[in-house]
Amino acid sequence: MVGKIRITFLMAFLLTALFNVSISAQEVSFWLDMESLNLQKGVSANIVVHLTNAQGAQILNIEGLEEFDILSQSQSTTMSMVNGVTTLQERQHYIVMPKTAGQFEIKANIHFDNMRYETNALQVTVSEGSSGTDEPARDVFIETVLSHTDSYLGEKVILTYELYTRFNVDGFGFLENITIDGMLVNEIPSNQLGAEFIFLDGERYIKYEASQFILDPIRAGTYTIPSFNFQVNVVTGDSMGGFFRSSTPVYLQTEGKELTVRPLPSEGRPSDFSGIVGEFRVDGRYSRTELDYGDSFILYATVAGRGNLDGLTSLAGRINGLTVYEIIRNMTETVEDNQYYVNKEFELILVPERPGTLEIPPISISYFNPVTGRYETAEIPGTLIEVLGDMTHFNNNIGNHSQFSPFETIIINQVNYTDANENYFTIQLRRGTVYGILVGVAVLFVFAAILIWFIKTNKKSDPELKSLYKQLLGAKDINEIYSLFNAMIKHCYNLSLKANSQSIVRNSLPDSRIVAITTEIMDYMESSNAKDEKGSVHLKEKVINVYKLINQRQ
């Protein structure tokens, strides 16, 4: 048995030796290969470095590759034997994306057997990517579409990436997170995106809304929307979805765009302007115009249109003769024809404070119309309300319910009038009765104290402000923190930081401490340091300090 093992080991050793001698006897070679030397910006390309009979060789670098983004790389090895001669073929694959247009030379440097080798040099030409659908350059491409390239501060912009393909695809997506400096970026859910068949130059394509985003710039200026890398898995096997279905990744690069954001004009700005920008329609309907004193009625109001309603947190303040309870019943954001639309529904519960005829004045909403370039006003018409009855009758109705008083009648017995002093009455009570009275009084005092504390706490409580604060504690992104802070200031002081200058902010906020921290935050967001994600902790601390100051003032 031992002899058989030794013979097997010897045969394996001889075969390995013969294999190595066979490889070493072959010529070592290195070369560089590409599927095309004419590339297009925004379209991926394949580069392959071939290493023949060079086991253990190392690629030191590839000159010229710095002009490309490396999207992925992989390695493959094959071995063949012809007429007793073994050839070892190693391949290093790179999928790259050109960064810029121009002409470049690409060459690989390799270290093998203590020597340095160079591959052949390839002269590569990269042209600018084709934009527009008049001349589709290829079977798969992606386009960047902006709803506006010139907008006003406070106006929301839609960014859409449209994927065109003549092939069946097995999924697609970005290779990186979509972030844009100086903007709040909210992605539209994928289930709201569509697809359709279209014809370009007589060829049928499938057009996908690959991704869609709502952009909200936080300050005026010129913004650059950078290029992003995008992957499409093109079906190359059984396109009917059978067992042999397979796909090949195709890498694309989106086209960069520029967006100009202009500041809102100061001329003609209404005193009650709260940063609402767009074109809107306003509808209002009263539930009834006649009611009994003590009842309530409702104003149903809707504000809808193409624009930004973030600054509209309330429709009405104090209305003489009425107590107003206001809620936002619903808010929806949609994208139609690559345009942003918003619908906000309000419900105002109105309680008359006296009987008689009450005149409800019109409710006005000031906004900036980017189409006309002017400040305009939308209005919910006023109305007359007849409140029937009188306050005396209402008070009597309250008095008729006295039989439901929660107080218990206590019967006092064992009264003794026999006393030596005729000028005084002496009342004798059982000890248990006295203790019961004292305990009852104490309980009533405790209950009254708790009730007073609860009423005061509820007066100070602001559910919407608390909700914004809870969201702030969980936020990590600088832009998200600033957006929540802006919402706090809008809610508490009806003031938009994005739509007003620092001088207006200083004159509008009531507390000098709040003013100091707020202007410091605005300076920080307008500086280049706002790009540093490490500053989010510092920014959050500043906003929390403002929140505490607001609570102290309530």
| Average pLDDT value for the chain | 80
Q: What is the CATH number of domain 277-391?
A: 2.60.40
0.85 exceeded by pTM: no
Can 23-127 and 140-262 be said to share one CATH topology?
yes
359-415: pLDDT as tens digits? 999 998 999 999 999 999 999 999 999 999 876 655 555 445 444 444 443 443 444
Look at residue 130 in the predicted model and tell me its pLDDT.
Answer: 52
| Amino acid letter, residue 264 | L
Residue 294 predicted with pLDDT over 80: yes
How crowded is residue 445: how many other Cβ atoms within 10 Å of its Cβ?
10
Residue 296: both structure tokens together: 């309530």
Provide the residue ranges of all domains of the chain, joining segments of one domain with +.
23-127, 140-262, 277-391, 406-460, 463-553
CATH level 3 topology of 23-127: Immunoglobulin-like (2.60.40)
Q: What region does 492 belong to: left with phi over 0, alpha with psi -120 to 50, or beta?
A: alpha
Least confident range from 75-79, 107-111, 196-200, 527-531: namely 527-531
What integer is the mean pLDDT of 272-286?
A: 91
Query: Angle between the 512-526 and 535-553 helix axes, to the nearest 10 degrees?
Result: 160
Residue 239 predicted with pLDDT over 50: no
The CA distance from 445 to 544, in Å, is 37
Look at residue 421 in the predicted model and tell me its pLDDT.
Answer: 53
Task: Count how many Cα atoms sit within 13 Å of the Cα of residue 404 in the half-sphere of its side chain.
Answer: 5
Closest CA to 156 of 255, 276, 256: 276
Q: Which CATH number fits domain 140-262: 3.40.50, 2.60.40, 3.30.70, 1.10.3470?
A: 2.60.40
499-541: pLDDT as tens digits? 777 777 887 888 888 888 888 888 788 775 655 656 777 788 8
Residue 69 predicted with pLDDT over 80: yes
Least confident range from 43-57, 128-142, 410-424: namely 410-424
- Are 131 and 256 in contact, with CB atoms under 8 Å apart? no
Residue 211 predicted with pLDDT over 50: yes
- Are 156 and 233 in contact, with CB atoms under 8 Å apart? no
| pLDDT class of 26 with cuts at 50, 70, 90 | low
Q: Tell which wins on pLDDT, 159 or 138.
A: 159
Q: Check the CA dihedral 134-136-140-143 and report its sign.
A: negative
Look at residue 375 in the predicted model and tell me its pLDDT.
Answer: 95
Look at residue 390 in the predicted model and tell me its pLDDT.
Answer: 76
